[in-house]
Amino acid sequence: MSIEVKIPPVGESIESGIISVWHRKSGDFVEAGEALLTLETDKVSTEITAETAGLLETKAGEGQEVKIGEVVALIDDSASNPTKKTKSASSEGAAPVASQPAKKSSPNADFLSPAVRRLTNEEKLDAAKITATGKGGRLTKGDVLEHLQKGEPEAHADEQEKPRGQSKSVIEEEPADRFTRKKMSPLRRKIAAQLVMSQQSTATLTTFNECDMSEVMALRKKAQAKFQADHGVKLGFMSFFIKATVEALRAVPSINSRIEGDDFILNHYYDIGVAVGTERGLVVPVLRDADKKSFADLERAIADFALRAREGKIKIEDLQGGVFTISNGGVYGSLMGTPILNPPQSGILGMHAIKERVVAVNGQAVVRPMMYLAFSYDHRAVDGKEAVTFLVKVKEAIENPTALLLEV
């Protein structure tokens, strides 16, 4: 009996997604609970697993857009696991067979790209005899070029005198490899639309400051070993900035707001979004009631979000309802940048790389680890004075981290 594998509902307003990768292919035997494919939507990526064990037959390819409820594969639960049969046969003392040297060949020699097919035809090469290193055993143009450079016997005789890799066909094929065209993923399309909408629908302005990271770095170094032993997670910089942001929002409550039509809505809770970069794009999971969480609670939550984001297991509800966002471009080496608002929020804080710079302290030139801070805000809801005051409060909290720990 064949069991249908359907695309399940993955959240409100999501009607379709793209199969970003099949973890198993047609003809594979799969176990119940095993990940079959990753579905990428405009909000999250999620793995779809097998409900039963059996032989898999896929009905949709990678990169294909599929609707919620669509059948993308069948699982024949009456089939038995061929791997177990093989093991059973070998355990019963099957006669040994003389080993043959394994041939390195392309299992997909019949499925060649136009560029590879043209090159093999012109060079009179047998594609099946060329080692394939592409995805799924596909033969790539690089495989053919490497084959030519090694001077394998399949190369045409009158080409033997030519310098390897310098044939006319190679030169002619170069333009075809100058770019790759592919459809944007749903998540990337959503990010693009959100960024454009933010720029068009808000009056965004950015103010800057810098903070001395000496005290935070010294405190982390002193407390790190005990903190990690007690809580099982490292003490990072982000928890300090979340705490500092909450204190600054309390001091300047107008920033903890949003505009809906003609209404100005002031929030009285502190659900802080933390931007997390993934291979599929940027996601912003939300830390609920950040004001009520300890440093350890925050660090555990951040680590959990980062892990689930990389694995594509973030849920829709994890991304909804934030009142403010923190983005850390410093982890990628950014020295300065202007973060874009995440509507309907009225503010976003940008952290940057920590760099040693010469600064004046009590009339003396000293070297300190400094970080530039950028605060973008919706000028419709927040005045310039309030924005500057907010950023100064963040700076003061970071430069006096003991006060954050003592909550004074």
pLDDT of residue 274: 95
The per-residue pLDDT for 159 is 43
Residues 393 and 268 grouped into a single domain: yes
| 48 and 172 both lie in a single domain | no
371-400 pLDDT, tens per residue? 999 999 999 999 999 999 999 999 999 999
Q: Are residues 246 and 317 in the same domain?
A: yes
Same domain, 252 and 304: yes
The Cα 5–Cα 47 span in angstroms is 13
The CATH number of the domain holding residue 37 is 2.40.50.100
Are 389 and 328 in the same domain? yes
- Let me know if residue 57 belongs to a domain: yes
Q: Which of 177, 289, 304, 383 is catalytic?
A: 383
Structure tokens at 220: 């982390």
Share of the chain above pLDDT 70, in %: 80
Are residue 314 and residue 402 in the same domain, yes or no?
A: yes
**Which candidate, 214, 408, 406, places its Cα nearest to that of 295?**
406
Which two three-digit tokens encode residue 2? Answer: 């064949």
Higher per-residue pLDDT: 306 or 120: 306
Q: Are residues 122 and 270 in the same domain?
A: no
Dump the DSSP string for 273-299.
Answer: EE-EEETTEEE--EETTGGG--HHHHH
Q: Per-residue confidence at 347, pLDDT binned at 50, 70, 90?
A: very high
Instruction: Specify whether the CB–CB gap between 332 and 180 falls below 8 A.
Output: no
Number of domains observed in the structure of the chain: 3
Averaged pLDDT, 274-299: 89
More reliable by pLDDT, 10 or 342: 342
Query: Is residue 186 situated within a structural domain?
Result: no
Instruction: Report the pLDDT averaged over residues 207-223.
Output: 96
Active site includes 77?
no
Dist. CA 246–CA 320, nearest whole Å: 18
**Distance (Å, whole) CA 279 – CA 286:** 19
Count CB neighbours of 343 within 10 A: 15
Pick the more confident residue, 3 or 10. Answer: 3
Q: Give, for 208, the enclosing helix (H) or strand (E).
A: strand 204-212
Highest mean pLDDT among 6-10, 130-134, 198-202, 396-400: 396-400
Residue 76 lies in a domain: yes
Question: In terms of DSSP bridges, do strands 272-274 and 324-328 run parallel, antiparallel, or are they unpaired?
Answer: parallel
Burial class (CB in 10 A: 0-12, 13-18, 19+), 222: exposed
Residue 379 shares a structural domain with residue 275: yes
On whether both 167 and 71 belong to a single domain, the answer is: no
Q: Say if residue 222 is in the same domain as residue 329.
A: yes
Say whether both 14 and 119 belong to one domain: no
Burial of 8 (0-12, 13-18, 19+ CB in 10 A): exposed
Task: Quote the CA–CA distance of 408 and 403 in Å, as a whole number.
Answer: 5
Whether residues 253 and 342 fall in one domain: yes
Average pLDDT over residues 199-219: 94
Which two tokens mark 364? 């003396």
Instruction: Please report the sign of the dihedral spanned by the C-alpha atoms of residue 119, residue 20, residue 192, residue 383.
Output: negative
Q: Which pLDDT value is given to residue 149? A: 65
Residue with tokens 């005990």: 226
- Which residues are CB-neighbours of 291 under 8 A, at least 6 positions away? 246, 250, 269, 270
Look at residue 153 in the predicted model and tell me its pLDDT: 47
Whether pTM > 0.85 for this model: the answer is no
Is residue 379 flagged as an active site residue?
Answer: yes
Q: What is the pLDDT of residue 406?
A: 64
Mean pLDDT check: name the lowest of 282-291, 315-324, 378-387.
315-324
CA distance 206 to 336: 12
Distances (CA, A) of 43 to 93, 206, 303: 54, 27, 20
Asked if the structure places residue 329 within a domain, the reply is yes
Residue of 84, 82, 64 whose CA lies nearest to 73? 64
User: Is residue 202 pLDDT above 70, yes or no?
Assistant: yes
**Domain boundary residue among 68, 83, 98?**
83
What is the rounded CA–CA span in Å between residue 61 and residue 183?
14
Q: 195 lies in a domain?
A: no
In a domain, 210, yes or no: yes
Q: What is the pLDDT of residue 91?
A: 54
| DSSP 8-state secondary structure symbol assigned to residue 345 | B
SS3 44: coil
In a domain, 372, yes or no: yes
- Residue 72 belongs to what domain range? 2-83
pLDDT, averaged across the chain: 82
pLDDT digits (tens, 9 = 90+) for 73-93: 999 888 777 666 555 555 555
Q: What is the CATH number of the domain that holds 378?
A: 3.30.559.10
- Is position 64 within any domain? yes
